[in-house]
Chains A and B, each alone.
Chain A
Amino acid sequence: MKIAVCMKQVPDTEASLRVRKDSLWIDEEELTFVINESDGYALEEALTIAEKTGGEVVVFSLGGERVREALRKALALGAARAVHLADPAFEGGDALATGRALAAAIQAQQFDLVLTGSQSGDAGFSSTGSVIAGFLGWPHAWLVMGLEVEDGKKAAKVTREMESGVNEIVRLALPAVIEVQAGINSPRYASLKGIMQAKRKEIAAVTPADLGLGAEEVGAAASLLETLAVFFPESGKGAEIFEGDPADCARQLVEKLRKEARVL
């Protein structure tokens, strides 16, 4: 099976965030970026299927120069090649604009399966994979916790997570887009050999023109969403917060829990 995996690079959840001067996004200058959580699981799922069925995994990422690091990591983990949607014109899109570009890049090659994550840790649209499926005209499933390619590779049995501890099992005809949820498998670590091999693997940089798209069809220019401002949420009623020496904080908290909240 030839499998495409869409991987986004997002700020590390550990990073402390600062709002940029123009308030339109966060300051990315000193941030640490990582592969989006569910995308790492999607890559692992793709690698496992490719190992079982034969074939290759190609990873796609749209973003600035920094995303090459994420692609390189995916190559070290076992992906065969990478495609970098590298032009600045691609950036700043909503799910429709980003999905259109990724779908065009994927369509330029023949794939049996496309895997994406279920939600990005920054924009968090939970949409891009489904939008890609729409542009490709393929079936899709979001929030997938189990994936089994059936004999003959014409269909896949898919376990979809639903609310309140229940899963739904469905069958999709292939090719399809599967939007993987974190926790579906246990992602591997890169081996030294993999890291060495990755250095020789190809990362192809593509522009909108390479994909037959006009600059106005991608990125911020095509986005139907315009961000006016980002900010830290106001914290409603406000917690009583203790800061400083842990022992002092702990004593004050326990006192409050006993005497004020009366829950101990």
Chain B
Amino acid sequence: MSKIWVVAQTRADGIHPMALETLVAGQELAAASGGTVDALVMGDSVSARAAELASWELGSVQTLEAPALAAYTPGAYVAALAAAIRANAPDIVLFPHTYQTVDHVPRLAQALGAALVPEVVSFEVRDGAVIWRRPVLGGKLQADVRAKGSPILASVQAGAFSASDRRQGTAQVSALSIDVELEADREILGVEEVAGEHIDLSAADRVVAAGRGVGGEDKLGVVHDLAKALKAEVGASRPVIDSGWLPRDCQIGSSGQTISPKLYFGVGISGAIQHLVGMKGSQVIVAVNKDKSAPIFGVADYGIVGDLHEVIPAVIQALEETEGD
């Protein structure tokens, strides 16, 4: 019987939405492995956050409170988590795969000498062992992996589980105490908005998104032409922006904008998870890619396999030919 913990990251407005998904993953893993699942909520004063989980089916909601946990620093978080894990010996500790946990969970794994399975998208229990599935090679392939030792740390990728699948119940809140010095290993100076002209793609009905496959800033013409023909806004994947072909606020994905237009038209985009999380809520998804096994086709409704520099002009022509009927 395995003892599963889910570390439920909080935000100013509540439990992080990805932590709710991870709690569902924890419930499913507990059911599949015949184990128990507890939530762990950490911060300086988290009773309101812990109470949000009272209607979940959980062994308990554990709070881990200390003044040094008020603001996130890896130093304090890793020390607190390592102490709590050593004292309570969970077999599996799940985290949402957020930018905050990716910053410190690898250090926690190092401190504990524990296995870390990042970006889990699903799992299966086979002969008592958990087989974890995670993307590799930018999402082009997936890998099934088994982790050795105890505890096993794993982070759960966005969208892999749905918070609405939660099992309801009543969970008791109890406080964990740890007896270690918590020290910040960085000084927090503040936050800033990423600079940009504030192109709001989230309001657009149609978005044409350019990927690295377009091949260069000088080759973006077809993308703009297609956007014009479709009366769409232009967005992009990250490498297009990193290379300076388009401004930063055109970026769609986990570190850019989240969009859900009626039509998303991706051109030369492979479909890495960090891009998908920003656009998979689109009503109709179209992708053009020369690689038939590109992961973008996994979420697309329609796709054309081919060289975008041949396909897109043909699409524009077909749009013009059939206009108005």
Contact = CB atoms under 8 A, between A and B. Distances in A.
Interface residues of B, number: 94
A142 interface: yes
A249 B304 contact: yes
A255 B147 CA distance: 49
A224 B154 CA distance: 12
A224 B148 contact: yes
Given A166-B193, A242-B303, A243-B304, A258 B322 contact: yes
Interface in B288-313: 291-293, 295, 297-307, 310-311
Contacts of B143: 227-230
B148 A226 contact: yes
Given A224-B147, A230-B142, A254 B118 contact: no
A96 B113 contact: yes
A240 interface: yes
Judged by DSSP, the binding face of A is: mixed
Contact of B117 (A160, A225, A243, A251): A225
B3 interface: no
A107 to B, nearest CB: 14
B186 A95 contact: no
Interface in B266-289: 270, 283-287
B84 to A, nearest CB: 18
Interface stretch (A123-131, A189-197, A207-215): A123-131
Contact of A168 (B74, B135, B188): B188
Given A142-B102, A235-B298, A253 B146 contact: no
B244 interface: yes
Interface string A151-178: 0000001111111111111111100000
Interface in A181-240: 182-183, 186, 224-236, 239-240
A253 B314 CA distance: 10
Contact of A125 (B116, B193, B295): B116
A257 B263 CA distance: 9
A135 B242 CA distance: 31
Judged by DSSP, the binding face of B is: mixed
B220 interface: no
A233 B295 contact: yes
B188 A261 contact: no
A171 B189 contact: yes
B142 A122 contact: no
Nearest to A169: B189
Interface in A17-45: 17, 19, 26, 37, 41
Contacts of A127: 102, 105-106, 109, 116, 118
A226 B257 CA distance: 35
A75 interface: no
A227 B310 contact: no
A99 interface: yes
Contacts of B194: 161, 165-167
Contacts of A255: 322
Given A140-B107, A182-B238, A242-B303, A253 B315 contact: yes
A261 B284 contact: yes
Given A26-B141, A121-B138, A225-B145, A139 B185 contact: yes
Contacts of A133: 107
Interface of A: 11, 13, 16-17, 19, 26, 37, 41, 94-96, 99, 121-128, 130-131, 133-135, 139-143, 157-173, 182-183, 186, 224-236, 239-243, 246-247, 249-251, 253-258, 261, 263-264
Given A95-B116, A165-B255, A239-B297, 19 more contacts: A17-B140, A26-B137, A125-B118, A130-B74, A131-B110, A134-B106, A141-B103, A165-B193, A171-B189, A183-B241, A227-B143, A228-B131, A228-B146, A229-B144, A241-B305, A243-B304, A246-B311, A247-B314, A254-B315
30 contacts: A17-B140, A94-B115, A95-B106, A96-B109, A123-B136, A124-B135, A125-B106, A126-B106, A127-B106, A134-B106, A134-B107, A139-B186, A162-B100, A163-B99, A163-B254, A224-B115, A228-B131, A233-B135, A235-B299, A239-B297, A241-B304, A242-B304, A243-B304, A246-B307, A250-B304, A250-B311, A250-B314, A251-B314, A253-B318, A258-B322
